[in-house]
Amino acid sequence: MTPITLDISMSLDGFVAGPEPSMEDPLGKRGEELHEWVFGLASWRQAHGMEGGETGPDADLVAEHVASYGAVVMGRRMYSGGSGPWEDDPNAGGWWGDDPPFHVPVFVLTHHPRESREMQGGTTFHFVTDGIDTALDRAQRAAGDKAVHVAGGADVVQQVLDAGRFDELTVHVSPVLLGSGTRLFENVDGSRVKLELLPVPASPAVTHLRYRVVK
């Protein structure tokens, strides 16, 4: 069965975005600090069409993650970023650029039907209006022998957890306290999710946590 995985950066106090997200600041105030460990890595830069960058265990982990998935599932707000009511906005999703960094089919969970958008570089956005299980099923079929990467936001991650559909969770804990914003784990029925810690490489910039979800 095509595995469903999470790979997300979180603050020490549990936030995956800062408060007051906006067009200028789609990750919320100080939200970019969660991702500082990744911006300089060669493998991340390559996926985003840039050259150069650092190699090492962190870059290898990101390269492994990028190579692992054949489809992505994300929420509507992650797709449209800070742009307004996106169902009326033909440019919604524009912040991902003409060549988004996914390079695979991306299934966007939404209440508003919309035609698929084929972008450059292999990314096609598909819009799914009938719930998380359908989005995951379609992504699994599209992923072939690779994994489905659940990209976020937190509400989508919580839906996938509640549906018992995750196989593996990777959380990168950045050395940051945000104080407020969007929590990754909120209202999760913890008794239903049993985790098994998996080995990860040590990093001087961030703490990688990886778990197998025991089914």
How far is residue 160's CA from residue 169's CA, in Å, rounded to a whole number? Answer: 11
In angstroms, give the least distance from the CB of 199 to its own copies.
Answer: 7
Torsion of the alpha carbons at 194, 58, 147 and 70, rounded to the nearest 10:
160
**Residues making contact with its own copies (CB under 8 A):** 11-14, 30, 171, 173, 175-180, 183-185, 187-191, 193, 195-197, 199-200, 202, 204-207, 209, 211
Please say which residue, 22 or 180, places its beta carbon nearer to its own copies: 180
For residue 150, give the amino acid letter: V
Apex 19 CA angle, 111 and 71, nearest 5: 45
In angstroms, give the least distance from the CB of 84 to its own copies.
Answer: 28
How far is residue 8's CA from residue 148's CA, in Å, rounded to a whole number? Answer: 14
Place of tokens 């699994």: 140
Q: Are the C-beta atoms of residues 8 and 21 closer than 8 Å to each other? A: no
Please say which residue, 47 or 184, places its beta carbon nearer to its own copies: 184
Please say which residue, 49 or 179, places its beta carbon nearer to its own copies: 179
In angstroms, give the least distance from the CB of 173 to its own copies.
Answer: 7
Q: Are the C-beta atoms of residues 166 and 150 closer than 8 Å to each other? A: yes
Please say which residue, 131 or 201, places its beta carbon nearer to its own copies: 201
Name the token pair of 156.
């989508």
How far is residue 4's CA from residue 155's CA, in Å, rounded to a whole number? Answer: 16
In angstroms, give the least distance from the CB of 77 to its own copies.
Answer: 21
Please say which residue, 43 or 170, places its beta carbon nearer to its own copies: 170
How far is residue 44's CA from residue 40's CA, in Å, rounded to a whole number? Answer: 8
In angstroms, give the least distance from the CB of 207 to its own copies.
Answer: 5
